[in-house]
Amino acid sequence: MAITIILPKYFSATSAGNAVRVCKKILDAEEDITLDASNLVYADPLGITLLGAALHDAFSWNLRVRISGLGEDVGGYLQRMDVFHGVDFVKCEPVKKRRRNRGDSLVELTRVDEVSDVDETAHRLAVAIVGRFPGIDPDEPPDEMSGYTVFDRLVEPIQYSLCELLENALTHARRGSHGSAFVWVAGQYYRSSKIVRLGVTDNGCGFLASLKGHPELRRKRHLDAILTALKPRVSCNRDLGIHDDSVNQGVGLTTVMRIAKHTGGRAVILSGNALHDTDGRSGSTPAGSIWQGVAVALEFRRDQLARTNFRELLPLVEGIPRIPLRFE
Amino acid sequence: MRTQLPLTSYAKGHLAGTRAAAAPLRLRAEEILSSGGDVVLNFRGVEATQSFIDELIGYLILSQGPSVLERIVFRHCSENLRAIIEYVAADRCDQYLKRPTHH
Ligand SMILES: Nc1ncnc2c1ncn2[C@@H]1O[C@H](COP(=O)(O)OP(=O)(O)OP(=O)(O)O)[C@@H](O)[C@H]1O
Ligand SMILES: [Mg+2]
């Protein structure tokens, strides 16, 4: 026996609630799954990472997954993004486009399992994305003053954001009974709108479980937990304990959101039954649909990326005397 | 004695990113500090995340107090990096000094 799950028209950050609803059905499935993709026309990196994480769960229960009715365009795209690894195709239009070479395949869906892989993955992904910007030459001579090329400056904020989000997912998300949580990442550059989109999704404990003991979290609800995590200097681990060898500052996620905003982009965060969109649309996912973990969609405007200015981005530290530091 | 630690081998491309990558560098800095030397962090060609900088110097401020900064030199920092280092130092010194038990 198999159950049929109908994929929505859009599997993306702008309709993240629908994507979570469908993923929840995949996660709850106890028998083989047929995904009906006849309505599906568009998926973005957030949708791809959510689907990748949900399919991973189905495969871990040894369920068989088939997909039917996949159109040529979206089907070709999703196959190139490596979303349907292990999925059987039935009644799908044949995909004519050839696979891309490995050189740019790194924007494809990637699962990261170890913190020690984060730096390398974040760098490779950021380089692959910026490598798709037309007119940018990675081999141009660097600026004499700074030592950096334009390419380097475009890579940095993307790599920075990926490092912070991936390390969060492989540390905080693994607390409690979620020690074996993973994180999935995908990215794409949209040439016509000149926008970079990233999706980073984990299947860990979620914001609420991570911050439930924090005094700033007054109402124990998923949306409050997301909004609390976004406040600067809020962390589940801000102080050194006597035997502790790990500490956090509570600023990473805040800064990543500000980098995206600073470029004129936006962010969408999902966790539990809550969804926060920096463009103002925040609230609950559709009834009964829950994401166990954290999913973040980031959008950067390419034209503003190289101008990231951290003095403007970092939170203010008010009323604190300037600390003398030895810069040379 | 000043011991110079180049950051390049802790970065991927031009960015030193994760706390996990910063921890071994901090251990090296701690060794130098505990033997009475000063540490020169050479950031030529390297940017860093706030998390990386906090794992490196925020941690040292919380464990040894703000005076540890008198023995750390930051060399060849870009404007962005300087802003991050100043932020981390200010925030962690403030946190340390507000602790009831810091003496
Ligand atoms: N993927 C995640 N899963 C669960 N909880 C998370 C996740 N990401 C962040 N959090 C929670 O949100 C808090 C704030 O995250 P943020 O990245 O801003 O700070 P931090 O990681 O604690 O500190 P820093 O980034 O300075 O190392 C974290 O302390 C943690 O409680
Ligand atoms: Mg963090």
* Number of neighbours of residue B55 by Cβ within 10 angstroms: 26
Does this complex have an ipTM over 0.90?
yes
Chain A closest CA to B67's CA: distance in Å? 10
What pLDDT shows up at residue A25? 96
Decide: helix, strand or coil at residue B60.
Answer: helix
Task: Tell me how far CA of residue A102 lies from CA of A106, A110, A113, in angstroms.
Answer: 7, 13, 21
* DSSP conformation class of A166: H
Per residue in A103-134, pLDDT (tens digit) is 344 478 999 999 999 999 999 999 999 998 99
Residue A301 within a domain: yes
Query: What are the residue ranges spanned by the domains of chain B?
Result: 2-98
Residue A150 within a domain: yes
Residue A23 within a domain: yes
Minimum CA distance residue for ligand 1 atom 29: A235
CATH number of the domain that residue A47 is part of: 3.30.750.24
Q: CB burial class (10 A; 0-12, 13-18, 19+) of residue A193?
A: exposed
Is there a single domain that holds both residue A211 and residue A118? yes
Rounded-to-integer distance, Cα A8 and Cα A289, Å: 14
The rounded percent of chain A whose pLDDT value lies above 90 is 75
> Residues 309-328, chain A: which have Cβ within 8 Å of B?
309-311, 314-315, 317, 320, 322-328
pLDDT at A98 over 60: no
pLDDT band at A96 (very low <50, low <70, confident <90, very high): low
What pLDDT shows up at residue A102? 41
The residue assigned the tokens 């706390």 is B19
pLDDT band at A20 (very low <50, low <70, confident <90, very high): very high
Domain residues for the domain of A20 are: 2-90
Per residue in A293-314, pLDDT (tens digit) is 999 999 999 999 998 999 999 9
The residue assigned the tokens 């037309």 is A134
Ligand 1 centroid vs A167 CA: distance in angstroms?
A: 9
Which of B69, B55, B48, B70 has the alpha carbon at shortest distance from B24?
Answer: B55
The rounded percent of chain B whose pLDDT value lies above 70 is 97
Per residue in A21-48, pLDDT (tens digit) is 999 999 999 999 999 999 999 999 999 9
* Number of folded domains that form chain A: 2
Helix A16-28 to helix A45-60 angle, to the nearest 10 degrees? Answer: 10
Interface mutation target, options A120, A163, A233, A307, chain B, most CBs of B under 10 Å: A163
What pLDDT shows up at residue A91? 81
Q: Which of B17, B84, B91 sits opposite A119 (nearest CB)?
A: B17
The answer to whether B18 contacts A115, with C-beta atoms less than 8 Å apart, is: yes
Q: Is A243 on the interface with B (CB under 8 A)?
A: no
Per residue in A137-160, pLDDT (tens digit) is 889 999 988 899 999 999 999 999
Task: Tell me how far CA of residue A301 lies from CA of A39, A238, A276, B41, B67, in angstroms.
Answer: 29, 32, 20, 33, 42
pLDDT band at A95 (very low <50, low <70, confident <90, very high): low
Looking at per-residue confidence, does A136 or B49 come out higher? B49
Least confident of A119-133, A162-176, A275-289, B12-26: A275-289
pLDDT at A234 over 80: yes
Please give the number of the atom of ligand 1 that sits closest to the Cα of A204. Answer: 3
Decide: helix, strand or coil at residue A210.
Answer: helix
Rounded-to-integer distance, Cα A186 and Cα A322, Å: 40
Residue A121 within a domain: yes
Rounded-to-integer distance, Cα B38 and Cα B22, Å: 18
Rounded-to-integer distance, Cα B15 and Cα A122, Å: 10
pLDDT band at A323 (very low <50, low <70, confident <90, very high): confident
Q: Is A202 on the interface with B (CB under 8 A)?
A: no
Is there a single domain that holds both residue A230 and residue A308? yes
Ligand 1 centroid vs A238 CA: distance in angstroms?
A: 10
Chain A closest CA to B93's CA: distance in Å? 8
Please give the number of the atom of ligand 1 that sits closest to the Cα of A206. Answer: 4
Considering A90, A118, A137, which residue would you say is the last residue of a domain? A90
What pLDDT shows up at residue A318? 75
Chain B closest CA to A195's CA: distance in Å? 22
Rounded-to-integer distance, Cα A131 and Cα A193, Å: 16
What pLDDT shows up at residue A280? 80
Decide: helix, strand or coil at residue A23.
Answer: helix
Q: Is A255 on the interface with B (CB under 8 A)?
A: yes
What does pTM read for this prediction? 0.96
pLDDT at A320 over 80: no
pLDDT band at A163 (very low <50, low <70, confident <90, very high): very high
- The pair of structure tokens assigned to A133 is 């910007």
CA A28 to chain centre: 22
Alpha helices in chain B (DSSP H): 19-34, 50-53, 59-64, 79-98
Q: Which of B21, B62, B94 sits opposite A119 (nearest CB)?
A: B21
The residue assigned the tokens 């949209």 is A190
Is there a single domain that holds both residue A80 and residue A216? no
